[in-house]
Amino acid sequence: MKFDKPSLAILIGILSTIPYEIITRIFLHYGFAKYSVYQLTSLMITLNRPNTGLGIVSSIILGGAISLLLLFSLKFLRPNNLIIKSIGLTLLSWLLLEVMFMWLIEGRELIPHRPVSDYYSEMIGSLIFGLTQGILFRKYLVTKTRRR
pTM, entire model = 0.89
At 22 the pLDDT is: 96
Tell me the torsion sign for CA atoms 7, 100, 132, 15. Answer: negative
What is the C-alpha separation between 45 and 40, in angstroms, rounded?
10
* Nearest CA among 139, 138, 129 for reference residue 78: 138
| pLDDT values of the chain reduced to their tens digit, one per residue, 148 residues | 567 899 999 999 999 999 999 999 999 999 999 999 999 899 888 888 889 999 999 999 999 999 999 999 998 888 889 999 999 999 999 999 888 888 877 777 767 778 899 999 999 999 999 999 999 999 998 875 454 4
- Over 35-77, what HEC string results? CCHHHHHHHHHHCCCCCHHHHHHHHHHHHHHHHHHHHHHCCCC
Answer yes or no: are the C-beta atoms of 86 and 70 closer than 8 Å. Answer: yes
At 2 the pLDDT is: 65
At 31 the pLDDT is: 94
At 100 the pLDDT is: 84
Answer yes or no: are the C-beta atoms of 50 and 101 closer than 8 Å. Answer: no
